[in-house]
Amino acid sequence: MNILAIESSCDETAVAIVRDGREVLADCIASQAEMHEIYGGVVPEIASRKHIEAISALAEEALRRASLSRKDLDAVAVTYAPGLIGALLVGVNFAKAAAYALGLPLIPVHHVRGHIAANYIAYPELQPPFVCLCVSGGTSLIVDVRSYTEMEILGATRDDAAGECFDKIARVLGLGYPGGGPMDRMAQGGDDTRFVLPRVHMQDAPMDLSFSGLKTATLNLIHNLQQKGEEVPRSDLAASFSAAVSDMLIPRVMEAAKRLQYGKVAVVGGVAANSRIRRDLEKACQKSGNELYLPPLSLCGDNGAMIGSQAYYEYLAGKRGNSTLNAYANRDISLG
């Protein structure tokens, strides 16, 4: 089954063609990061316009790269939630039009379910159940992936997402947007014990996360140093910040793994590219005897292939969209 998959939830326009959920025939991405860098973050209206400009040509390019024609397609899939509403609507409307014009089924896909499915592409043998940490610019979740289409949130951020914090601190440090990658590189060789930053724990919900305190404490620290005319030791700060984020994420994921006893832990989303988080997880999983699934960096960020993969399993479970399909800025992952 060849699925044409569309992703436009944030600042990447992506179109992929995926066969039977696991084989990527084409994966085309047009990133808008350069455009948004000027403003230090994603400008939703600009994102929508850029998606409109890119999407048709990208779909043609995906077909060309896969050496397929339109009649070789069996379904059209699209990210319909969560994300920037205007950006999502571009993909949803393109997918609706394509499905209608080609007489194909339409499959709506939840963006975070897509991120989780990046693992199915990277690890052809992987099957649910497993525990998945989803950490991106807009999401920080610990998910119980019971089956391909049944999922429950075990812990979620109550405020900022981890990637959002990396981006905000990076911006103040003059590292550009998106800042997670540059922060990660800056942290290499830095002293992660130089600054003691808060690790938040919520008594009533031990699996939940909160990054706003860490973000504020780090920003205050930087501003204080700047006000005193002192140089900000960027490498040590980036290392200390990365350590704090990792210390909040890893123990919670491992606690979930202990409770559920699946023996499998996966990590997805742009922040899964972080070397400190990857290293700490590898150690924790080795110690606890869990198999760790870390998709390659190319599959960690937003892409169309992950949407095409999840779409296949949604299709098998009977999920279909029609011409009334809408986009949603927020939607619980358990609802699909």
Tokens 């606890």, located at residue? 288
SS3 content of the chain, % helix, strand, coil (to 5): 50, 20, 35
Residue 312: CB minimum distance to ligand KG4, A? 20
- Cα(141)–Cα(207) distance, integer angstroms: 9
Q: Which residues bind ligand KG4 (CB under 6 A)?
A: 10, 136-138, 163, 166-167, 178-181, 184, 269-271, 273-274, 301-302
**Beta carbon nearer to ligand KG4, 184 or 192:** 184
Helix, strand or coil, per DSSP, at residue 204: coil
Nearest to 238 by CA among 282, 296, 197: 197
Residue 301: CB minimum distance to ligand KG4, A? 3
Residue 5: CB minimum distance to ligand KG4, A? 15
- Cα(42)–Cα(40) distance, integer angstroms: 7
Kindly state the tokens that stand for 133. 């940490």
| Cβ-proximal residues to 103 (8 Å cutoff; 6+ apart), any chain | none
**Beta carbon nearer to ligand KG4, 104 or 163:** 163
**Beta carbon nearer to ligand KG4, 37 or 255:** 37
- Cα(31)–Cα(50) distance, integer angstroms: 9
**Beta carbon nearer to ligand KG4, 8 or 290:** 8
**Beta carbon nearer to ligand KG4, 149 or 274:** 274
Handedness of CA 255, 303, 91, 102 (dihedral sign): negative
**Beta carbon nearer to ligand KG4, 63 or 84:** 84
Residue 336: CB minimum distance to ligand KG4, A? 18
Residue 81: CB minimum distance to ligand KG4, A? 12
Q: Assess whether the previous peptide bond of 206 is cis (omega < 30° from 0).
A: no
Amino acid at 305: A
Give the Cβ contact number of residue 286 at 10 Å.
11
Handedness of CA 308, 309, 314, 315 (dihedral sign): positive
Give exposure, 303-314, as e/b (b: 16+ Cβ within 10 Å): bbbbbbbbbbbb
**Beta carbon nearer to ligand KG4, 10 or 99:** 10
Residue 175: CB minimum distance to ligand KG4, A? 10
Residue 231: CB minimum distance to ligand KG4, A? 23
Residue 101: CB minimum distance to ligand KG4, A? 29
- Cα(36)–Cα(19) distance, integer angstroms: 33
**Beta carbon nearer to ligand KG4, 66 or 161:** 161
- Cα(258)–Cα(305) distance, integer angstroms: 31
